[in-house]
Structure 1
Amino acid sequence: MQVKISTLAAALAVGLITSFTAAAVQAKPQAPVEIVGTVRAQQATLKIAFESAAQQVNVRVYGVDGLTVIGTESPVIGGTFAAGQVMTLLVNYKPGAGTSNLAVQVDGQFDGKRRSTISSFTVQDGQATRSSADSSTAPAISVDGRGRRIAILPAQTK
């Protein structure tokens, strides 16, 4: 009888571990949109590309760590967008001291399901954060005609 109980306990433990592992790997589905932007001293240009048709779309922009959005924080309420459509937003803001962030949230009905996506853009004293200490060699971040983020690198000098 002792063997049957321990075998049952082991089977239950393996089942629980498997179910916990599956739950940890499975993430909440994101809204099928791509959010890219260019951050300047007090204004950001954001491009939101819809990869599938969407209804009842809400777009919210807000500041984190001291950044304050100037104007409306909800530029789109209840919007409808076709697959492939790209929306451009100009967001004015006052950066916080040091490092702050501009966050963008898009939620809506995509393929009959409510989904949401959030992107954040880091601002350092009013400028986009540089990954290199030497700003002359740091890439300039821009957006191409299809709304994809690209890095423009300076030419190498000898």
Structure 2
Amino acid sequence: MNRKTFAVLPGLFALLALAACSSSSKSTPSSTTDPEPAVQGKMQAPVVVNAQFENSSARITVRFDAPATGVRVEVHGLDGLVVIGQPTLANNVNFPQATTATYDVLYTPGAGRSHLVVSVSGEFKGAQRTRVATFAIGTPTDSQRSSQATKAEGAEGERIKVMPADTQ
């Protein structure tokens, strides 16, 4: 054998080994169903939260897309909104899959635009999960529109407001 053969042979063996590794790492799905979509961000509770508003009341609807145990549903106000009554709507309640729970909430809105926050937490499919939904109420005032926030764009073009820190 000549010198060129000794130089080419190790490279050929390396390519064969690389091809064997890459072909064995490919796997075929074991089931015929579509895999679950990739989740981006934090895992959330498999619930859908909706709200219907009328005057100073809201009807909150929570649909459970998976069985849930030890569920806690709470409401809070932001930006001046005050919830009238107890903020805890459900505590340590179990819900089977495809169940819908409805709650009526009274509130006093804040000046301009304020927000009603609904938090649903519990154990879903053996894991502790939470979902938070926020609903805007009212029209923003001029001062709320021209906040001192710096406006920027995220990596995917979404609008981001960078708020100044509270130094109290």
| Common topology (TM > 0.5) | yes
Q: Spell out structure 1 runs of 4+ moving beyond 6 A.
A: none
Q: CA deviation at 1:28?
A: 1.1
Query: What residue number does 2:17 align with?
Result: none
2:107 corresponds in structure 1 to: 93
| Cα root mean square deviation, aligned | 1.2
Paired position in structure 2 for 1:22 = none
User: What is the rounded CA distance, in whole Å, between the counterparts of 2:83 and 2:96 in structure 1?
Assistant: 28
Larger Rg: 2
Distance 1:37 1:73 in 2: 16
Rounded Cα–Cα distance in structure 2 between residues aligned with 1:83 and 1:66: 35
Question: 2:66 is matched by which residue type in structure 1?
Answer: S
Q: How far, CA to CA, are the matches of 1:104 and 1:26 in structure 2?
A: 22
TM-score (norm 2): 0.58
Give unmatched runs, 5+ long, in structure 2: 1-38, 140-168
Matched-pair contact (CA < 8 Å) for 1:39–1:121: no
Of 109, 115, 119, 2:123 maps to 109
Measured in 1, the distance between the counterparts of 2:138 and 2:100 equals: 27
CA offset at residue 93 of structure 1? 0.3
- Between the aligned partners of 2:55 and 2:134, the Cα distance in structure 1 is 16
Q: Which has the higher contact order (CA 8 A, sep 6+)?
A: 1
CA–CA separation in structure 2 for the residues paired with 1:76 and 1:51:
17
Report the count of equivalent residues.
101
With normalisation by structure 1, the TM-score equals 0.62
Please tell me the residue identity of whatever aligns with 2:97.
A
1:62 aligns with: 76
